[in-house]
A and B are shown apart, each in its own frame.
Chain A
Amino acid sequence: MSILKAALPEKEIITHVKKLDGKTPGGDLQDKWSKYKSEMKLVNPANKRKYNILVVGTGLAGGSASATLAELGYNVKTFCIQDTPRRAHSIAAQGGINAAKNYQNDGDSVQRLFMDTIKGGDYRAREANVYRLAEVSTNIIDQCVAQGVPFARDYGGLLTNRSFGGAQVSRTFYARGQTGQQLLLGAYSSMMRQVAKKQIELYTNKEMLDLIIIDGQARGIVIRDLKTGEIETHTGEAVVLCTGGYGNVFFLSTNGKNSNATAAWRCHKKGALMANPCFTQIHPTCIPASGEYQSKLTLMSESLRNDGRVWVPKSGDDKRPSDEIPEKDRDYFLERMYPAYGNLVPRDVGSRAIKRVCDEGRGLGATGRAVYLDFASAIDRLGNKNISDKYGNLFDMYETITGESPYNKPMRIYPAIHYTMGGLWVDYDCMSNIPGLFVLGEANFSDHGANRLGASALMQGLADGYFVIPYTIGNYLANNSLDSVSDTADEFKVSIDEVKKKNESLLKIKGSSTVLELHRELGAVMWDLVGMARTKESLNEALEKIPQIKEKFWNDLNLQGTENNLNKSLENAARLADFIELGELMALDAYDREESCGAHFREEYQTSEGEPLRNDEKYAYVSAWEYVPDSVSILHKEDLNYEHVEMTQRNYK
């Protein structure tokens, strides 16, 4: 092993010497956001209508931002790739949304939600952003209830909560197993109200393919009409990117088939820094892959771990059906390994534990890549009816897919790629290093560090859109004089040419490998070598293999059809081209970070108990990568200074 290591060539990474500044306001942590709000510059109501804001994406972040900015009086243009904004992938979030309401009187507070999030993220998030997130969390619930979101309630009519991983309080609000859907429909309905008032111009079936920068500021976008293939341009005073995460780099993930990184990646190629790309979350409870034609993986909400118990047979040789295995021959390994949190350990901890027992040869079924999630004791305790009220739709979904009923047989689950903590780098204002380009929700990197806690993605998307951007965008617009720009400017012409050429060149290759085959190939490399556990060797191998896939893609792609019509293969090919480049950067980022933290697990760096071993001395920074054409990206570092939190080893035992 050591000889092999020595023989590996060291990758040369150029580090930019000037440290990045997250522009966190001064003062006490608790007062930073109120101080910011009271000191920021405002745009007066009459002037707001002079500003055009381009919002890209209509998930929780984009939907809430569009609605709120329009309510304030800005002219908003909103773009989405779907036939209606209500289909954005936020809709598939199941379990819930966190908020420090302390309705359960169980000791919750803004401080505790902040601490749980920082700790859950393994001390790799920016302190002030996380505090602000916890602070506005309570407003989100008020807002959503006022919109008519039908959260779960008790008989007395009050809101009820459930627990999620990484927390010892019940602070998760939920609407059965369809919380994302209900929150998204809330944001969507607020958006529709503004569309009716003509305060939002809505553009559906449009994909952003480039960012236009004029005089150093983000001033427009180039989009493709997915129905006609026409390339169009829009100008504005700011661009708000809300295009979600990049989990589909792995091909098989819980993301929607259309979730992609293209808009973000094209911004990156125009100069926006990409931060912590290797921080990708594996969700422990997904339905295991069944065969080679699998097109995506389906999540089973983390909320199931409130009542489900995770186990495998004690012996790998025990091939009896689950109901014939007595208690004494079962290993409830999460409860055994982490008695304090039990089945509710954070996602990264749970996923690795599952991988470990499967690697030991105790996994289930033909693939050996599955463990039980068992509801028998909860059903005994609470009855079928109660369990059905809580998880009915999840149980139905499981049965539809697998043909087995979780009421009678334990579920089988295995981890899958679910969320990406990394994303475009933003400062405290949620603005990227390109002035005027704001990035919200999963598309930015800011709040979850190296691991996101369950029910915090919905919280962050809505916090950014409802309660952060309406303030920070005003501050930007009021502080900057922005000359009017025209979409006949050279910058637009050059970009339109490039976008068209790129699509044409994809169609000209006329090779033999389909987009799906190449995507599967990339996914296999990413999952095996840049997945749940990484080593220097595996990352080196990935850094060799990904360029080979890129080469194959550009020389052997088989793409049918034309660019002047709806052509899903063309859309997917263009997105895959970007995924391949992003995949390489993810491997490079993981290679650079010679420590384990949160979901980033480098096997070389672990405690004797197999937990991630951080190296705060060397790696307490955000890696923000600058794109360099045809060369290795340059690393910019933002030091993480914890003024209010002591960095400790996470312990969920």
Chain B
Amino acid sequence: MSDVINLNLQVWRQENENSDGDFHYYSMKDVPVDISFLEMLDILNENLTKSGVEPISFDSDCREGICGTCGFVINGVAHGPMARTTVCQLHMRHFKDGDTLVIEPFRATPFKIVRDLVVDRGSFDKIIQAGGYVSINTGNGPDANSILIGKEDAEEAFDSAACIGCGACVASCPNASAALFTSAKISHLLQLPQGQVEERARVKSMVDKMDDEGFGACSNHGECEAVCPKGISIKNIANMRRSLIKSIVK
């Protein structure tokens, strides 16, 4: 391993949902630049465990940027400084020797802090339950090629469907709005004939649910798109609004 850097970390530590939290300070020496951010935290946790301190709780699973499990804020930016990158895919080569890194959980009322950097994003499930599906029971699908979908429509639907539900959009929004998440699902289904049948009921119900869960309103700030590790576009929010207006007007 060639290069190493030294870092100062300020990490948010909080015992559980109801307790108060505060920042703890750790200095990290000789961090190899080829490892990922989470591997850097693994090393810190090993050191803490060895010195009899409980390690920092943070969530991760696939470490390939697809499961949406990991995520926290680094120096004020959800998933850190690199565009279109989850923290598990963020590598230490993007930091400089001597950097101070402030690490905090995704903060939003509907995301309860479980411990330290771990938050529960179950409220996203509630939004999907409000209509983020095609109402079809197993076994009822017609032959797959009987539904023709143009290549471009399929690609656009895919772009919307690529959301990993990590919650960075909510954590970065000054209103803690879930508009990008919700609209991505709405647009994914809207762009496919299978999904168009239920368009009106779906959009109304999902938007209402978003409000019920305590997410704020969208005010076109755009930070959600900037931090989204999958590059989900705020065009989706425009699609959602158009669809919502249609559902109210008709």
A512 cross-chain contacts in B, Cβ below 8 A = 50
**In the complex, how many angstroms separate the beta carbon of B201 from the nearest chain A beta carbon?**
12
Q: Does B15 contact A (CB under 8 A)?
A: yes
B162:A561 contact, CB within 8 angstroms: no
Q: Does A569 contact B (CB under 8 A)?
A: yes
Contact residues, B36-89 vs A (CB, 8 A): 36, 38-39, 42-43, 46, 48-50, 52-55, 57, 59-69, 84-85, 89
B63:A256 contact, CB within 8 angstroms: yes
A156 cross-chain contacts in B, Cβ below 8 A = 148
Interface size on B, residues (CB 8 A): 80
Contact residues, A83-110 vs B (CB, 8 A): 83-87, 89, 91-92, 101, 103
B64:A397 contact, CB within 8 angstroms: yes
B128:A192 contact, CB within 8 angstroms: yes
Q: What 0/1 pattern do residues 576 to 597 of A give for CB contact below 8 A with B? A: 0000000000000000000000
Q: Does A405 contact B (CB under 8 A)?
A: no
Closest 6 CB pairs of A and B: A146-B141, A157-B148, A142-B141, A189-B133, A256-B61, A145-B144
A92:B66 contact, CB within 8 angstroms: yes
B38 cross-chain contacts in A, Cβ below 8 A = 295
B149:A153 contact, CB within 8 angstroms: yes
**In the complex, how many angstroms separate the beta carbon of A430 from the nearest chain B beta carbon?**
16
**Which single member of B36, B143, B144, B158 contacts A176 (CB below 8 Å)?**
B158
- Known A87-B68, A176-B158; judge A467-B138 contact (CB<8 A): yes
Q: Does A624 contact B (CB under 8 A)?
A: no
B64:A298 contact, CB within 8 angstroms: yes
Q: Does A215 contact B (CB under 8 A)?
A: no
A606 cross-chain contacts in B, Cβ below 8 A = none
**Which single member of B52, B121, B134, B137 contacts A189 (CB below 8 Å)?**
B134
A71:B137 contact, CB within 8 angstroms: yes
**In the complex, how many angstroms separate the beta carbon of B37 from the nearest chain A beta carbon?**
11
**Which single member of B85, B89, B125 contacts A192 (CB below 8 Å)?**
B125
A82:B125 contact, CB within 8 angstroms: no
Q: Which residue of B lies closest to A296 (CB)?
A: B63
A154:B194 contact, CB within 8 angstroms: no
Q: Does A368 contact B (CB under 8 A)?
A: no
B129:A148 contact, CB within 8 angstroms: no
Residue pairs across A and B with Cβ atoms less than 8 A apart, 13 shown, are A83-B122, A84-B125, A147-B133, A148-B133, A150-B192, A151-B154, A152-B154, A153-B149, A189-B128, A190-B138, A256-B61, A560-B49, A565-B16
Given A298-B64, A568-B55, 8 other A-B residues pairs in contact with their CB atoms under 8 A:
A83-B69, A87-B67, A158-B148, A256-B63, A559-B49, A560-B55, A566-B115, A568-B57
Q: Does B174 contact A (CB under 8 A)?
A: no
B contacts with A: majority SS = loop
B89:A558 contact, CB within 8 angstroms: no
Q: Does A478 contact B (CB under 8 A)?
A: no
A190:B133 contact, CB within 8 angstroms: yes
CA distance A42 to B130 in the complex (A): 32
Q: Does A175 contact B (CB under 8 A)?
A: yes
Contact residues, A567-625 vs B (CB, 8 A): 567-569
A567 cross-chain contacts in B, Cβ below 8 A = 54, 57
B147:A145 contact, CB within 8 angstroms: yes
Give B residues with C-beta under 8 Å from A: 1, 15-16, 32, 34-36, 38-39, 42-43, 46, 48-50, 52-55, 57, 59-69, 84-85, 89, 91, 93, 114-115, 118-122, 124-125, 128-130, 132-145, 147-151, 154-155, 157-158, 161-162, 164-165, 188-189, 192, 194-195
B120 cross-chain contacts in A, Cβ below 8 A = 83, 204-205, 227
A291 cross-chain contacts in B, Cβ below 8 A = 1, 32, 34-35
A92:B129 contact, CB within 8 angstroms: no
CA distance A559 to B46 in the complex (A): 11
B135:A193 contact, CB within 8 angstroms: yes
A141 cross-chain contacts in B, Cβ below 8 A = 144
Q: Which residue of B lies closest to A173 (CB)?
A: B144
A176 cross-chain contacts in B, Cβ below 8 A = 158
**In the complex, how many angstroms separate the beta carbon of A617 from the nearest chain B beta carbon?**
43
**Which single member of B46, B64, B147 contacts A514 (CB below 8 Å)?**
B46
**Which single member of B55, B115, B151 contacts A569 (CB below 8 Å)?**
B55
A148:B63 contact, CB within 8 angstroms: no
Interface size on A, residues (CB 8 A): 85
B61:A84 contact, CB within 8 angstroms: no
A466 cross-chain contacts in B, Cβ below 8 A = 138-139
CA distance A397 to B84 in the complex (A): 11
- Known A84-B124, A87-B69; judge A143-B157 contact (CB<8 A): no
A151 cross-chain contacts in B, Cβ below 8 A = 144, 154
B89 cross-chain contacts in A, Cβ below 8 A = 397, 400-401
- Known A89-B61, A155-B150; judge A145-B141 contact (CB<8 A): yes
CA distance A401 to B62 in the complex (A): 14
CA distance A295 to B44 in the complex (A): 13
A190 cross-chain contacts in B, Cβ below 8 A = 133, 136, 138
- Known A148-B192, A189-B128; judge A295-B139 contact (CB<8 A): no
Contact residues, A449-499 vs B (CB, 8 A): 466-467, 470
B140 cross-chain contacts in A, Cβ below 8 A = 146
A401:B1 contact, CB within 8 angstroms: no
A154:B61 contact, CB within 8 angstroms: no
- Known A153-B149, A295-B39, A514-B49; judge A146-B194 contact (CB<8 A): yes
A147:B134 contact, CB within 8 angstroms: yes
- Known A204-B122, A291-B34; judge A150-B148 contact (CB<8 A): no
**In the complex, how many angstroms separate the beta carbon of A104 from the nearest chain B beta carbon?**
11
CA distance A268 to B8 in the complex (A): 46
A516:B64 contact, CB within 8 angstroms: no
- Known A257-B60, A290-B34; judge A64-B49 contact (CB<8 A): no
A153:B150 contact, CB within 8 angstroms: yes
**In the complex, how many angstroms separate the beta carbon of B175 from the nearest chain A beta carbon?**
22
CA distance A396 to B114 in the complex (A): 32
Most chain B Cβ neighbours within 10 Å, of A148, A159, A291? A148
Interface-facing stretch out of A178-186, A272-280, A320-328: A178-186
B143 cross-chain contacts in A, Cβ below 8 A = 142
**Which single member of A89, A157, A400 contacts B67 (CB below 8 Å)?**
A89
CA distance A227 to B62 in the complex (A): 20
A146:B136 contact, CB within 8 angstroms: yes
Q: Does A629 contact B (CB under 8 A)?
A: no
- Known A150-B154, A153-B154, A192-B125; judge A565-B115 contact (CB<8 A): yes
Most chain B Cβ neighbours within 10 Å, of A202, A290, A516, A566? A566
Q: Which residue of A lies closest to B136 (CB)?
A: A146
Q: Does A68 contact B (CB under 8 A)?
A: yes
**In the complex, how many angstroms separate the beta carbon of B45 from the nearest chain A beta carbon?**
8
B142 cross-chain contacts in A, Cβ below 8 A = 142, 146
CA distance A144 to B138 in the complex (A): 9
Q: Does A45 contact B (CB under 8 A)?
A: no
B145:A103 contact, CB within 8 angstroms: yes
Q: Which residue of A lies closest to B159 (CB)?
A: A150
- Known A189-B134, A560-B55; judge A516-B46 contact (CB<8 A): yes
CA distance A180 to B161 in the complex (A): 12
Q: Which residue of B lies closest to A197 (CB)?
A: B129
Q: Which residue of B lies closest to A85 (CB)?
A: B125
CA distance A565 to B91 in the complex (A): 30
CA distance A568 to B149 in the complex (A): 45
B129:A192 contact, CB within 8 angstroms: yes
CA distance A190 to B135 in the complex (A): 8
Q: Does A14 contact B (CB under 8 A)?
A: no
Q: Does A424 contact B (CB under 8 A)?
A: no
CA distance A193 to B151 in the complex (A): 28
**In the complex, how many angstroms separate the beta carbon of A355 from the nearest chain B beta carbon?**
24
- Known A147-B133, A148-B189; judge A293-B39 contact (CB<8 A): yes
Q: Does A258 contact B (CB under 8 A)?
A: yes
